[in-house]
Amino acid sequence: MSTRKGGTIRSQTVIERTYRTRVEELWELWTTKEGFESWWGGEGSRVKVHTMEAREGGKLHYDMIAVAPAGIVARNQMGLAPSSSVRARFTEFRPYQRLILTHVIDFVPGVKPYEQMIAVDFFPVGDTVRMVTTIEPMHNEEFTQTSIRVFSSQLKMLEGRFQGQ
């Protein structure tokens, strides 16, 4: 599937993972302050959630904070401060089945604000849950690839939550 940004068509990225857990536990990690903060920042970063209204139309406001020196340097090279205030909303919210987070990308210097969606589908199968995440591209290829790397790092943090279960 593809999407149009600024007159060009870019492909969405689909990432699938299967976790040995209950769908309720995985859902909670996406929809509670404590759960979200436990993995969303990824390696070398953390998040501080200010608002989490886990419902359709609900707001999500958090700070994405680079804490590792390499992350601070990388953000600086992209023209970003070590910390960004991020606003999003839950544009779709079907408990234990699907959610869509629509982020407002308004923290990139010199780039007109726009929205980027992340859709997450949950498929319980026995004692596992297959999670399918679809990520829209960002305003350019560099930011899109960085977004995918960061999200993949976040998934490693999430996977760590289920090891040994």
Domain architecture of the chain: domains with CATH: 2-160 (3.30.530.20)
Q: What pLDDT, on a 0 to 100 scale, did the predictor assign at position 67? A: 85
Per-residue pLDDT of the chain (165 residues), as tens digits, is: 444 444 444 689 999 999 999 999 999 999 999 999 999 987 788 899 999 999 999 999 999 898 888 777 777 777 777 888 999 999 999 999 999 999 999 888 888 999 999 999 999 999 999 999 999 998 888 888 888 888 888 898 888 888 755
Are 39 and 58 spatial neighbours (Cβ–Cβ below 8 Å)?
no
What pLDDT does residue 10 have?
Answer: 63
Q: Which of 59, 87, 86 is nearest to 75 (CA)?
A: 86
Side chain identity at 84, as an amino acid letter?
S
pLDDT in the model for residue 31: 98
Instruction: Kindly give, in sequence order, each residue whose CB lies less than 8 Å from that of residue 25, ignoring residues fewer than 6 positions away.
Output: none
Query: What's the pTM value of the predicted model, to 2 decimals?
Result: 0.86
SS3 state at 74? helix
Helices (H), the chain: 23-31, 33-37, 69-77, 141-162
